[in-house]
Structure 1
Amino acid sequence: MRLRHRSGTTLHLGYCTNVHPAEDLSGIIAQFDTYAVPIRERLGTDVLGLGLWLAAPVAEVLAADPALRVKLRAELTARGLEVVTLNGFPYRSFHDPVVKYAVYRPDWTTRERLSYTFDLARILADLLPDDAARGSVSTLPLAWREPWSATMADQVARRLDQLAAGLAAVQSSTGRQVRVAFEPEPGCVVETIAQAISHLARADTGRLGICLDLAHLACAWEQPAAALRALRTKGLPIVKVQLSAALESSDPEALREYAEPRFLHQTRNPHGEAADDLHEAFARNLPGPWRTHYHVPLHADPEPPLRTTTPVLREALKELAGGRVPLCDHYDVETYTWGVLPPALRPGTPRQLAEGIARELEFAREQLRDLGVTA
């Protein structure tokens, strides 16, 4: 969806397709008809934005074939869909039975991660609507925290220099600007805003910046106003925002049914104590209250004593979009965990999933409208 900020800036609001498992082009196009078109129709909007997730194998094929990129763009346009942002965090196999730590590999020490991100930038340059100001690609926060060494930090610094140069070449050859956004996440080398500022201090901020995931921000127990002020002070741009909410509870036992085998659910309390997953938090009897990296539907309140971190989302949106000028223009709803919710909350059919995603987007649109953003 396209919304208009009071400054006249277009804000792009869509949903991230990493919630869907397809990893080949035919499967991705099939998703459009199964999910995206019904969502667009439910929302009553002429154009729906998708934050496409393209696994590395299909990205490599698309990047090598201009005709396939033309085909993909035509398939999107024919359905009233558009793409200004790609999710380049999961490399592949994001819906395997067990993902956990594998989602952080390959990391930014490797040539594979750089090549994948270049492929996404080339693809996005051709998918961007003609009137879009720029595109964005979100990516992992450098690496998982262990192992990490000075040698690895040097390797990452070289990759980021190569990345900036490659993005400049894409812009020179296509006339389209694509920026890459690093997404702080609990447990990673870049977990907090302070760490983002430190590790990206030498980055080309015209092409590289931050993807602010609001569930991750909450799980780090960061205050949105202070975090965003620090980014502005250091001149590190917010390239993309992922609208997400995590679980919170003062009674950790209420989270027991959310401990599941596919994704990692990093858990933190406000005293700085942490576990890499819910299973570990229970085993260690981590003191509460807990915030757990488990993306839950934005519009739905869980049964007490569980609650969500949507108050953090609202506070962050006020800072991001409530002022004279927006701090970011790309907003993606990113609830990828619909398929692993407790059975009573899990959609049983594609239609139910499409309905749930549409309700999330309605919620996000209303939050922005409350801040004076219009359709």
Structure 2
Amino acid sequence: MKTEFGHLTYCTNIHPGESWVDHFQELRIHLPLIKKEISPNQPMGIGLRLSNEASLSLIEENQLLEFQNWLEQESFYVIGINGFPYGGFHTDVVKEAVYQPDWSDQNRIEYTQRLFTILMELLPANEEGGVSTVPLSYLYFDTNVNDRNVRKSKSTEQIIQTLLTLIRIQKATGKTLHLDIEPEPDGMLGCFLDWVIWYTSDLLPAAFPVLMDEFGFDSQSAEEQTKNHIRLCLDVCHLAVTYEVNPFLFSELKRLGIKVGRIQVSSALKVKFQENVGELLHSLKPFDEKKYLHQVVAITKDGEKRSYRDLNLALDAGANRLDEWRIHFHVPIFLETYGTFLSTQEELKLVLTEHKKDHLSHILEVETYTWNVLPKNSQLPIDKSIIRELKWLRSFLESNSQI
């Protein structure tokens, strides 16, 4: 729904269905129930997740028209698309396959441009919309720096080709669409600082001559167009894991004039090892599930950081009483604690407080997909779980709470 704080929505990646038929069926079941509680008297926005398979079906004229008619009849609208997972997000094992194909692969650019074609048709008039995407690639697809640099260069070239498409769409239709690149631990752009360095040192210098040649832009216009269409996807969980939710994040965004395409409203799992280290490590084992990557960044009292590709590796390495762990696990945002564990809700509140002051983005998208970690007496059916998350978000934004 559209509010003074922007569009409040959630990502439909929580609902299964890799084919469009299956996913649309899930949306028809769940979305009206959620809207009835969250936005009964005004249209409600959707953060749509489409697999490659679903996008190939939905782009067909009859399928797209059917969906548009349903949106209008039920008073929904699509404000953004999650284009991060190309393939199965609900298969038994996802892990690093979520990055495949990456931005060095032609299949990734074709998929993403197809999503923009769909979004262009679904986006309401006078609104901007974005497609989120992977942080170029997964860091460990390559074993040496040279191969990584080749992959990064190819990925940057394909991002620029997508930028050309977005500028052409804006010139033809007047609609502003943006690609929202999402830093994630162990991605090629694994943190906000990596993202900024790539953006300023790789993307902008490479984009300028292409835009000047293609559209006749001067350097100022080329920079403005790039920053308008290539934006940051600020996933709060990810940046909390890398300890980057701090004043530097906000000051750098302002200093560089980088736009935030969307805020993915999310919390990570936090563990403070002060005592009973063995018990805490044992209690973490249920979080070591086999479907998704759960990268860990540990920090000692002296500020030394240690990163682990997955939770099982961190558990094998152990901890001491001076460690704090941040774990890439999208826990529900409405809780600050999970028994003996914490969440990074404090960091989320910091981002939301900053957003209330400076309106960082026009899209706030809840992205929680791990409700099974809640205590049994706190677990609810999926619809009620989503409603609880959205109500917490709206309540915090509407309150006078400050961090």
In structure 2, distance between residues paired with 1:95 and 1:29: 15
Q: 2:132 aligns with which of 138, 146, 155?
A: 138
Are 1:145 and 1:189, in contact at CA under 8 Å, matched by a contact in 2? yes
1:183-215 residue CA offsets vs partner (Å, 9 max, x unmatched) = 011111112211111111234212101000000
Q: Give the match for residue 205 of structure 1.
A: 227
1:238 paired to 2:288: no
Are 1:142 and 1:156, in contact at CA under 8 Å, matched by a contact in 2? yes
Aligned-residue offset at 1:118: 0.2
Alignment of 1:144-293 (within 5 A): 144-146=138-140, 147=142, 148-201=147-200, 202-203=203-204, 204-251=226-273, 252-253=280-281, 254-270=283-299, 271-287=304-320, 288-293=323-328
1:334 paired to 2:367: yes
What amino acid is the match of 2:118? I
1:54 paired to 2:54: no
1:17-62 residue CA offsets vs partner (Å, 9 max, x unmatched) = 0011112222222222321111111224332221100000121233
What amino acid is the match of 1:177? T
Structure 2 unmatched runs, 5+: 205-225, 274-279
Aligned-residue offset at 1:236: 1.7
In structure 2, distance between residues paired with 1:371 and 1:23: 41
Are 2:268 and 2:327, in contact at CA under 8 Å, matched by a contact in 1? yes
In structure 1, distance between residues paired with 2:316 and 2:186: 18
When structure 1 is superposed on structure 2, of 294-303 and 235-244 the one drifting more is 294-303
| Matched pairs, number | 359
CA-based RMSD: 1.9
Q: Give the match for residue 361 of structure 1.
A: 390
Tell me the TM-score normalized by structure 2: 0.84
What amino acid is the match of 1:228? F
Q: Give the match for residue 8 of structure 1.
A: none
Aligned-residue offset at 1:301: 4.1
Query: Could you say which structure has the greater relative contact order, defined with CA pairs below 8 angstroms and 6 or more residues apart?
Result: 1
Look up the SS of the partner of 2:78 in the other structure: strand
Aligned-residue offset at 1:166: 1.3
Alignment of 1:33-182 (within 5 A): 33-45=28-40, 46-63=42-59, 65-132=60-127, 134-146=128-140, 147=142, 148-182=147-181
In structure 2, distance between residues paired with 1:236 and 1:282: 37
What amino acid is the match of 2:376? A
In structure 2, distance between residues paired with 1:358 and 1:127: 24
What amino acid is the match of 1:104? Y
Aligned-residue offset at 1:302: 3.9
Aligned identity (percent) is 29
Tell me the TM-score normalized by structure 1: 0.91
Structure 1 unmatched runs, 5+: 6-10
What amino acid is the match of 1:108? W
Aligned-residue offset at 1:67: 3.5
